[in-house]
């Protein structure tokens, strides 16, 4: 990324499904596995791996209302997200606000422990997308004065480890409220693309940034592509139709 040496003032990044496997999905998988009595390692479990482990440990199953409630909520959210993805591929985009609110209410109503929900710093660090990380490090090295703003719709408990892992200057997240080790409430600051754009524009104004880079992966990130003074975009291919390339340097990733 030497061609961007000292050319970026601010880099705005999404985290989940960009740098790391979606942490809300990983947290849900962790909850399922713990309820099925699976002995968990300090790692991120994908949905595919989780299904395999549940089948392998099905003999450990003991009836719990939590499992059935969590199962039906997961199926419903999967259905909603599938409809959203299909719609957003061809028509005007729908945000993930409804999905976020349903998930937050489910976690609160089930009385989930914060320790059951949290993903460790080690687990996240060991599961970073190496291609994205390489590009990120290269941009930071080439632009030592560049600030980094991370905006994620995932819910954090007692801070987000990714801030230290990636040496992020500013991070905005949704947040769970914990009392006596139990998740009892939520603070939803980022419902969709409009919130992401509002936060980004506020930071741009505060820092007086003139040259902007973005890492985007989901339809809720599409409005970030309308920010002024974009110079660099790292994007997932499904967002290509939203990009007005012009003089912007753009790279895609999986």
Domain holding 51: CATH number? 3.40.50.1000
Distance CA 17, CA 15 (A): 6
pTM: predicted TM-score of the whole model, two decimal places: 0.89
**Look-up of token digits 């705005």:** 12
Look at residue 74 in the predicted model and tell me its pLDDT.
86
pLDDT of residue 211: 95
Helix axes 65-90, 97-109, angle to 10 degrees: 170
Query: Domain range spanning residue 215?
Result: 2-253
128 vs 147: CA distance, rounded Å = 20
What is the model's pLDDT at position 3? 52
pLDDT for residue 60: 61
Count of structural domains within the chain: 1
Q: What pLDDT shows up at residue 184?
A: 97
Q: For 10-59, write each residue's pLDDT tens digit.
A: 999 999 999 999 999 998 888 877 777 777 788 887 888 877 777 766 66
Q: What is the pLDDT of residue 68?
A: 76
What pLDDT does residue 14 have? 95
Task: Flag residues of the chain having pLDDT under 50.
Answer: none
Q: What is the DSSP string of 173-237?
A: EEEEEEETTEEEEEE----SHHHHHHHHHHHHHHHT--SEEEEE-SGGGGGGGG-TTEEEEEEEG
């Amino acid at each position: 990324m030497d061609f961007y040496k000292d050319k970026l003032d601010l880099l705005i990044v999404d985290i989940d499904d960009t740098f790391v496997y979606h942490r809300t999905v990983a947290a849900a998988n962790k909850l399922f596995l713990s309820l099925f009595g699976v002995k968990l390692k300090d790692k991120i479990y994908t949905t595919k791996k989780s299904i395999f482990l549940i089948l392998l440990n099905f003999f450990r199953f003991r009836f719990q209302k939590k499992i059935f409630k969590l199962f039906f909520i997961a199926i419903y959210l999967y259905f909603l997200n599938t409809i959203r993805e299909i719609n957003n591929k061809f028509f005007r985009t729908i945000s993930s606000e409804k999905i976020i609110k349903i998930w937050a209410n489910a976690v609160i109503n089930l009385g989930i422990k914060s320790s059951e929900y949290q993903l460790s710093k080690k687990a996240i660090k060991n599961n970073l997308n190496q291609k994205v990380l390489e590009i990120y490090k290269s941009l930071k090295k080439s632009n030592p004065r560049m600030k980094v703003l991370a905006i994620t719709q995932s819910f954090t408990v007692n801070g987000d480890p990714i801030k230290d892992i990636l040496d992020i200057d500013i991070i905005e997240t949704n947040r769970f409220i914990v009392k006596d080790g139990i998740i009892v409430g939520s603070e939803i600051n980022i419902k969709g693309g409009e919130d992401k754009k509002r936060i980004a524009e506020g930071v741009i104004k505060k820092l007086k940034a003139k040259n902007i880079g973005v890492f985007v992966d989901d339809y809720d990130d599409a409005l970030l592509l309308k920010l002024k003074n974009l110079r660099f975009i790292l994007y997932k291919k499904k967002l290509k139709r939203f990009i007005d390339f012009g003089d912007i340097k753009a790279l895609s990733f999986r």
